[in-house]
Chain A
Amino acid sequence: MSAVVSPIREPLITGSKTYHQITEDIVSPTERVPNASWVAGFILSIATLSFGLFCIGYTIWVGIGTWDLNRTIGWGWDITNFVWWIGIGHAGTLISAILLLFRQKWRTGVNRAAEAMTIFAVMCAGLFPLIHMGRIWLAFFIFPYPNTRGPLWVNFNSPLLWDVFAISTYFTVSLLFWYTGLVPDFATVRDRAKGLRKNIYNFLSFGWTGKAKHWQRWESLSLILAGLATPLVLSVHTIVSFDFATSVIPGWHTTIFPPYFVAGAIFSGFAMVLTLMIITRKILKLEDYITVNHIESMNKVILLTGTIVGTAYLTELFIAWYSGYIYEQFAFYNRALGVYWWSYFGMMACNVLSPQIFWIKKYRRSIFITFFMSIFVNIGMWFERFVIIATTLARDYLPSSWSYYVPTWVEIGIYLGTFGLFMTLYLIFVRVAPVVAIAEVKSILKTSGDQYAQENARSNYDKMLNEKPHHEEHAH
């Protein structure tokens, strides 16, 4: 059986690869001594992480008073950063899960790194609410367990508790999904290794041998996990949006929040994947696997989600006027023209206007422009959360408690520290694990390799146009 692929499809693997070359290209970076730029990056990341840890330690030692939060503005950079990181943590599972279900083959080039990124981003995100609680050593109070306080249970009706469940479930499921995908690839690394390295990878590969029955179960498991992860990924940012939308604060309480937060999360997640993949493909020489076609596809998702987010901004703005509710109207007037007007315009410019350049194919396929755009989008999405949180709180119902908020060096330090954590983990990941899903790329070689695609696919394609589909072999 040969696969039938439309000759209009662009190849996803270039360089006329063989199966062995794929293994060689993807595994070899883990077998070499790290180069100078990796070492420099690693040192920088560790240094940033250390500063972040110092700031966290300082916060815990001195207290939350080291932050510039006040009675009016109780949520500032901490929750902004939390929502921002969680948003970034959406793309990995989205790429793996939704694109797997929709059978978008280009996901195979980027899903592994994106899932890793998801896990690291969720770790960064989870940090903020934990520190924000103040007495971090009592953090375990958030879990419902029989206790000596009555027993007093947690408030299952609170969106903040829903967050605890959503994020811990999301982290667990993402980790399982990611690792299950890694197991066969670790076996590939193991079978090329010697000595201690072989033992380590043998442990990591769980004894995988590639039996037909195991592959069948593995594929079934991947599909079901994808099916579960798809609503899960929607639920996580939905529940984050419930933190705001269940309240009665104008500007927070609006029903569009759940799908709009999810679209925004996908938007920023894809931007972060692009930022990282553009660097990774260059340094690890993976241009044949993460091609310009992959980048173009991701830019289209950015354009799409950017436009959805834009529709949501305008819907909110319009309905605020339409509601005829003066507090709602003021909240939006304040967003656009109030004390934090600059963050609203930063958000609009970076999230809605700038992605529109991706209507032009040339720019979608430009690596240089994509790289800068991806950073713009992440800045814009940070502003979006800041607008929602700080701007809204700064002007509440009581004019006597109106306030203004600027972060202290400690808050900025913690934020930088999460970048250090994220980059440290990512740099370790690219050293020890195959950055591209080897087995999955091999399985699309015959349909998406450049020696099989486009003009080379045509003869087979034209033949198949008049042939009946055969089913006897595809009873799965």
Chain B
Amino acid sequence: MKEAKEVLYGLYDDETVLLDAVRQANADHLDIEEVYSPFPVHGLDPLLGLSESRLHIAGFVYGALGTLTAFLFMTWVFTRDWPIIFGGKPYFSAPAFIPITFELTVLFASIGMVVSFYTVCGLGPGVTNPTLDDRITDDKFCIAFETNGYSNEEISKLQSFFSKTGASEVSSKVI
């Protein structure tokens, strides 16, 4: 069960203004809930303190799994289960196993990472996530604060933060 979340958010018109605003928020020790943007803004991750994505580690594990699956399976088939000589080559013909081993490595790594990506992001077919403003996927950059249980002073402090950093619009929403 998700609790209803009160959100106060400001929209910015440009990514450079957004980056300055995030820097200001860090300086003011404001706790940013989320930043939304229509495209990846470079230089934002370290400001928000986001740690580096670990997807590539997962990708390596999936890939290694694919390598082993393919190579060991073919080895088992041709040396144990049903040995056949093809073209005068030995049963265990490693050079001939390499193409399929490579393909399965890539296949396992790709499928594994894509599935992991959507799972950890909570995205997928049929998922509907609440959106704050329709223009966030168009040309607005958004900083959002969670305001559950905030006092009026705290809210007005956020309001002044938005006006100080050049937000073009400020609204609140319950999601």
Contact = CB atoms under 8 A, between A and B. Distances in A.
Interface in A138-182: 144, 150-153, 155-159, 161-162, 165-166, 168-169, 172-173, 176-177, 180
Interface centre among B43, B52, B89 (most CB of A within 10 A): B43
Interface size, B (range): 35 or more
B173 interface: no
B157 to A, nearest CB: 22
B129 A217 contact: no
A137 B136 CA distance: 49
B123 interface: yes
Contacts of B46: 472-476
Contact of B137 (A191, A218, A440): A191
B110 A165 contact: no
Instruction: Name the prevailing secondary structure of the A interface residues.
Output: helix
Interface string A40-78: 000000000000000000000000000000000000000
A1 B19 contact: yes
B36 A212 contact: yes
A221 B55 contact: yes
Contacts of A472: 46
A474 B47 CA distance: 10
Contacts of A369: none
Interface of A: 1-2, 18-20, 23, 144, 150-153, 155-159, 161-162, 165-166, 168-169, 172-173, 176-177, 180, 183-184, 187-188, 190-192, 202-203, 206-221, 224-225, 228-229, 231-232, 235, 239, 242, 438-440, 442-443, 446, 472-476
Interface of B: 15-16, 19, 34-48, 50, 52-53, 55-56, 59, 63, 73-74, 77-78, 81-82, 84, 86-87, 89, 93, 96-97, 99-100, 102-104, 106-107, 109-111, 113-114, 117-118, 120-131, 134-139
Closest 6 CB pairs of A and B: A207-B127, A19-B139, A191-B134, A220-B53, A215-B40, A439-B39
Given A20-B139, A150-B82, A203-B125, 17 more contacts: A157-B93, A169-B107, A173-B110, A176-B110, A188-B38, A192-B138, A207-B123, A209-B129, A210-B37, A212-B36, A216-B45, A216-B50, A220-B53, A221-B55, A225-B113, A473-B46, A474-B46
20 contacts: A1-B16, A20-B139, A23-B138, A150-B82, A151-B82, A157-B87, A162-B99, A184-B137, A191-B136, A207-B124, A208-B123, A209-B136, A210-B36, A212-B37, A213-B50, A217-B121, A224-B55, A231-B102, A232-B103, A474-B42
